[in-house]
């Protein structure tokens, strides 16, 4: 982790009709940092990740990614980002490797040889090579999530946005994913949403607590306790 800011969010709000999903969120996330967004369901975690991933436009506020305005430079910034949604982007009737090759077309991956090498490397690291020719619909939730992570990483993004990546995973898949995140953090900024306090403490450098669309507190991993986080979840002000 360095002192360089990779993501700079200033007074960010998102409104759907008269309802605010995010309200005046300001936050700086550092290069090489694992940052966790903690919050109960409906707190705005997914909305914030979707905005950072250029999938949703904010109502107001400003975001800079490595000094570039997200609104003005969305196409360039999108090449820097890997976004793992809570619900898979994979096509169920295609195999894992067919999905990955399909999504690789959206990035500047010109060499087929290098692309295949990258695919093989990621499949091996996530321990899913043996299932690469199986249709996604035949795979367990944990295996599907690992193939979706390969899709997220295929263009070697510098920023990873992972929305509830451990949700509904079996123990083996969760451990593999946790180990993988630890191994790939060098040189990447990783933002992970979760409501699991123990998980957040075990994987993050820092985190932020979102409640009803507001950033209530930013903390270091060593400061996280179940009692303190729950108190912030439940606070009304």
Domain match, 99 and 144 both: yes
| Distance from C-alpha of 167 to C-alpha of 55, rounded to nearest angstrom | 21
In this structure, of 105-114, 150-159, 172-181, the range with the lowest mean pLDDT score is 105-114
Which are the contacts of 71, defined by CB distance < 8 A and separation ≥ 6?
Answer: 57, 62, 63
133 falls in which pLDDT band (50, 70, 90)? Answer: very high
User: Which of 48, 82, 49, 77 has the alpha carbon at shortest distance from 65?
Assistant: 77
Report the percentage of the chain scoring pLDDT > 90: 67
Asked whether the predicted pLDDT for residue 124 surpasses 70, the reply is: yes
What are the tokens at 68? Answer: 């570039």
Domain match, 72 and 118 both: no
Domain match, 3 and 73 both: yes
Domain count, the chain: 2
Q: What is the pLDDT of residues 46-70, one digit of tens each?
A: 999 999 999 999 999 999 999 999 9
**Is there a domain that residue 177 lies in?**
no
What are the tokens at 109? Answer: 């991956």
**Is there a domain that residue 174 lies in?**
no
**Is there a domain that residue 178 lies in?**
no
Q: What is the pLDDT of residues 162-204, one digit of tens each?
A: 999 998 788 888 888 888 888 887 789 999 999 888 888 888 9
pLDDT for position 170: 85
| DSSP 8-state symbol, 130 | G
Q: What angle do CA 157, 116, 106 make, to 5 degrees?
A: 45
**Is there a domain that residue 7 lies in?**
yes
**Is there a domain that residue 179 lies in?**
no
51, 12 in Cβ contact below 8 A? yes
Averaged over 110-118, what is the pLDDT?
A: 79
Domain match, 141 and 206 both: no
189, 30 in Cβ contact below 8 A? yes
| DSSP 8-state symbol, 95 | B
pLDDT for position 234: 72
Domain match, 35 and 109 both: no
Q: What is the pLDDT of residues 2-17, one digit of tens each?
A: 678 999 999 999 999 9
Asked whether the predicted pLDDT for residue 34 surpasses 70, the reply is: yes
Asked whether the predicted pLDDT for residue 112 surpasses 90, the reply is: no
| Distance from C-alpha of 149 to C-alpha of 109, rounded to nearest angstrom | 17
Asked whether the predicted pLDDT for residue 84 surpasses 80, the reply is: yes
Please give the residue range of the domain that contains residue 116: 82-155
3-class state of residue 71 by DSSP: coil
């Amino acid at each position: 982790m360095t002192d360089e800011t990779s993501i700079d969010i200033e007074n960010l709000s998102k409104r759907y009709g008269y309802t605010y999903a995010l309200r005046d969120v300001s936050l700086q996330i550092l290069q090489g940092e694992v940052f966790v967004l903690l919050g109960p369901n409906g707190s705005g975690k997914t909305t914030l990740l979707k905005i950072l991933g250029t999938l949703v436009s904010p109502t107001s506020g400003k975001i800079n990614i490595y000094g570039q305005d997200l609104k003005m430079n969305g196409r360039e910034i999108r090449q820097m980002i890997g976004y793992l949604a809570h619900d898979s982007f994979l096509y169920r009737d295609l195999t894992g490797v067919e999905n990955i090759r399909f999504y690789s077309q959206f990035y500047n991956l010109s060499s087929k040889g290098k692309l295949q090498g990258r695919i093989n490397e990621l499949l091996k690291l996530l321990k899913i090579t043996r299932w690469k020719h199986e249709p996604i619909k035949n795979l367990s939730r944990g295996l599907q999530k690992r193939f979706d992570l390969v899709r997220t990483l295929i263009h070697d993004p510098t920023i990873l946005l992972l929305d509830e990546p451990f949700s509904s995973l079996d123990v083996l898949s969760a451990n593999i994913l946790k180990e993988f995140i630890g191994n790939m953090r060098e040189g990447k900024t990783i933002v992970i949403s979760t409501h699991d306090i123990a998980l957040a403490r075990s994987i993050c450098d820092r985190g932020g607590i979102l409640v009803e669309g507001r950033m209530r507190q930013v903390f270091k991993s060593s400061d996280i306790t179940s009692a303190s986080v729950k108190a912030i979840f439940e606070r009304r002000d």
